[in-house]
Amino acid sequence: MKNFEYKNPVKIIFGKGTIPKVAGEIPENSRVLMIYGGGSIKRNGVYDQVKNALKNFELFEFGGIEANPHYETCIKAMEVVKANNIDFLLSVGGGSVIDATKFIAAGALYEGEDPWDFFTQRFVIEPKAAIPLGAVLTLPATGSEMNWNSVVSRVSTQEKLAFGSPLVMPQFSVLDPECVFSLPDRQVANGVVDAFVHVMEQYLTYPVNSPLQDRFAEGILHTLIEEGPKVLANRNDYDSAANFMWSATMALNGLIALGVPSDWATHMIGHELTAFHGIDHARTLAIVLPGMMNIKRHNKKDKILQYGERIWGINQGTDDERIDKTIDKTVAFFKSLGVPCTLPEYDVPAETIQKIKERFKTRGSKLGENADIDYNQVEEILTDRL
């Protein structure tokens, strides 16, 4: 196991009927900006619950954060923050709203010219300050409620990039599984796939003798495989919704990454598919991951075999046969949730592969746990999905 340090200060408030507790978590006399998306919270009652809970606060609102939140919209929200001396941000929504809130929190206090620097100059320019924020999570998927990442899209340049900072970790996140009841099938499926692939990014690398992290990871995968279909079949099954929600948070709150290598190449390539074609985040992962497993089958052999055996019970045949079966099982699981896994099913033409290849060539980035996936391998991985 590698050395590590771990601190996750996000307070989690989990369970039915917990949304009113936000009032006790926000400092008294705060000027609060409630940030939300396209209106789902007005239809499912979450908006009213939050408004009622915060009636003793000076409360401002900023709605209209898009799925795959836009930089341009976040900049407008930063202006609202500055104009109204906001000193607390409450994010009410899915990963997009939470990610946008993180960017707004740091961007509003940025002294440089353009806070897009956080994304383009990642690891060089980092936020030095951020407005404190909290979250009410309405969609289990990203883990953004308990981590420091933010992914934002810039429409004008068709870029989708990430930044991270401990300064933008929520002070608290309220996880009420009843929010799942109003999710459409597509978002439930997306949430299961996104959480599943988050685990894979931190698990499907190479062995470093970390049996506890491996079993945490496998525990989350098993739970998603068992509970995801139950949530899809019966949206009002509270217990399954609760297990799904907690699995998604645990998949990306840093715990399973401790002391082990991480990959994240599937995400990096997937973000380009969203940037060029607007495909839902999770669906891009369902496309890329099988290609990643196939093309990197030698580097990832030990962990793919372990995953195949422990998750899907595959223990017969040569290594290559077992790897093939394991990829098939993974694809079959995604498809059973209604998530297609190839590029043509999303009308992505072969030319897009060339555009993505060019992007990675220009950036000079090498992806994966061994930093050995260059633009040529990105092309191979995507071509595998045609």
Note the residues at the interface with ligand NZQ (CB under 6 A): 37-41, 44, 67-68, 93-97, 99, 138-139, 141-144, 147, 149-151, 179, 182-183, 187, 190, 194, 252, 267, 281
> What's the min distance (Å) between Cβ of 265 and Zn ion?
12
Residues 181-200 that bind Zn ion (CB under 5 A): 194
The whole-angstrom separation of Cα 274 and Cα 282 is: 10
Q: How many residues does this entry show for the chain?
A: 386
C-beta closer to ligand NZQ: residue 8 or 306: 8
The whole-angstrom separation of Cα 218 and Cα 228 is: 15
C-beta closer to Zn ion: residue 210 or 274: 274
> What's the min distance (Å) between Cβ of 180 and ligand NZQ?
7
* CB-facing half-sphere around the CA of 341: CA atoms within 13 A: 22
Q: What is the arrangement of strands in the sheet containing 58-62, beginning at the earlier edge strand?
A: 11-14, 172-175, 133-137, 88-93, 31-36, 58-62
12 binds, among ligand NZQ, Zn ion, none (CB under 5 to 8 A by kind): none
Q: Find the helix or strand (DSSP H, E) in which 283 lies.
A: helix 281-295
147 binds, among Zn ion, ligand NZQ, none (CB under 5 to 8 A by kind): ligand NZQ
139 binds, among ligand NZQ, Zn ion, none (CB under 5 to 8 A by kind): ligand NZQ
Which residue has the CB atom at the shortest distance from Zn ion?
Answer: 194
C-beta pairs of 81-85 under 8 Å, 24+ apart in sequence: 81/33, 81/108, 81/131, 82/108, 84/31, 84/33, 84/60, 85/31
C-beta closer to ligand NZQ: residue 134 or 143: 143
> What's the min distance (Å) between Cβ of 188 and ligand NZQ?
10
The whole-angstrom separation of Cα 303 and Cα 155 is: 38
> What's the min distance (Å) between Cβ of 279 and ligand NZQ?
11
99 binds, among Zn ion, ligand NZQ, none (CB under 5 to 8 A by kind): ligand NZQ
Is 263 an interacting residue with respect to Zn ion (CB under 5 A)?
no
Chain-centroid distance of CA 379 in Å reads: 24
Chain-centroid distance of CA 224 in Å reads: 15
Query: Could you tell me which residues are beta bridge partners of residue 151?
Result: 162
95 binds, among ligand NZQ, Zn ion, none (CB under 5 to 8 A by kind): ligand NZQ
Question: Which residues bind to Zn ion, rule: CB under 5 A?
Answer: 194
